[in-house]
Amino acid sequence: MNREKIYLSSPHMGGNELKYIHQAFEQNWIAPLGPNVNGFEEDLKKYLKEDVHVAALSSGTAALHLALILAGVERGDEVLCQSLTFAASANPIVYLGATPVFVDSEEETLNISPGYLEEAIKDRIGKGKKPKALIAVHLYGMPYKVEEVHKVAERYGIPVIEDSAEALGSSYKGQKCGTFGDFAILSFNGNKIITTSGGGALVAKTAQLKEKAVFLATQARDNAPHYQHSEIGYNYRLSNIAAGIGRGQMEVLDAHIAKRREMNAFYRELFSTVNEAIVLNEPENTYFCNHWLTVIKAEENGAFKTDDLRLHLEKNNIESRPLWKPMHLQPVFEDAPFYGNGVAAAAFKKGLCLPSGSNLGEEEKNRISTAIKAYLQ
């Protein structure tokens, strides 16, 4: 098979990224600060539209780490976290010496179940410890049940960290994902909806919290002519070169989301006659999903096996991938508490992510559709 590989989601440049990088070179801003960093933060703030403050960082994982610190998480604390997610959502909890408490998903969006969330909170409080924070994820760009989840968190006074790494451009009731939580994080890794080759951002509600994040991200240096430190710091700021890529990417973000949504519509059409598989879609028209990745779910005990489809696509040099393996099933988290009834585990068993990049054209779509139709027959 010498035809070019079709990837799940690959970088898609808009064209102006190099312009911003050239400016950085011309002005010798080859550093983790400079006009592109400030410009990128401003672009993100304008895009999110709400009264938020954005700190550009070296990764989404770094942003989560700082969000947890700013939420007051310390050694020995417990932090609630959606189980069905990428490990980066949960790892920073452990960096801080805290314990993740994993919560199952609901069927409609595959994100954190408000019911099990409340059960987990009550049980942890009963055992003597109120969780310090909640990490809720808009998986594959699909908004979680924002109102229900936040209502539960508010009832118990638990701050919400919104993991919006996959959901830039998604919204719920017209409000952008990344603006609902006490903190939110974004990721610009290579396979995300926009990329800076590697990068992330923390979204905070006040200018003071943003400043504190930038302070911690630049080695926590006190205000003195010499290097003076009263706190432990990190090297987490985004470089001015990477931020230049980000500025170019922001110019094409909405166009790229439109393309990803077209890919989702393409799969819905393709699977419309297949009773045993459904394409995950917005449960109501109050949800707007960027469809970072399109997900199909096979019916339980049906003849349609997503893993067979995956292997068939692989033979055709087309990448597809199982859903994230839930954190409570990961060897590294086997001792962490979990609340749920198996929705996340079933989604992992029955789900598949299909190529969804904004750079897939007619030729790629034809190859995908031919391969899937051949499999279905």
Ligand X SMILES: *Cc1c(COP(=O)(O)O)cnc(C)c1O
List of residues contacting ligand X (CB under 6 A): 59-61, 85-86, 88-89, 137, 163, 165-166, 187, 189, 200
Token pair for 252: 């094409």
Asked if residue 17 lies in contact with residue 248, where contact means CB atoms within 8 angstroms, the answer is yes
Measured between alpha carbons, how far is 77 from 232 in angstroms, rounded to an integer?
19
The closest residue (CB) to ligand X is 60
Least Å from the CB of residue 363 to ligand X: 28
Helix 60-70 vs helix 207-217: angle between axes, to the nearest 10 degrees? 120
Least Å from the CB of residue 115 to ligand X: 22
Residue (of 156, 122, 110, 153) closest to 135 by Cα position: 153
Burial of 111 (0-12, 13-18, 19+ CB in 10 A): buried
Least Å from the CB of residue 82 to ligand X: 9
What string of DSSP letters covers 284-297?
STTEE---SSEEEE
Cβ closest to ligand X, residue 80 vs residue 371: 80
Determine the residue type at 52: V
Least Å from the CB of residue 105 to ligand X: 13
Cβ closest to ligand X, residue 111 vs residue 171: 111
Residue (of 225, 252, 215) closest to 33 by Cα position: 215
Least Å from the CB of residue 238 to ligand X: 11
Cβ closest to ligand X, residue 89 vs residue 372: 89
Asked if residue 123 lies in contact with residue 146, where contact means CB atoms within 8 angstroms, the answer is no
Cβ closest to ligand X, residue 133 vs residue 371: 133
Cβ closest to ligand X, residue 85 vs residue 113: 85
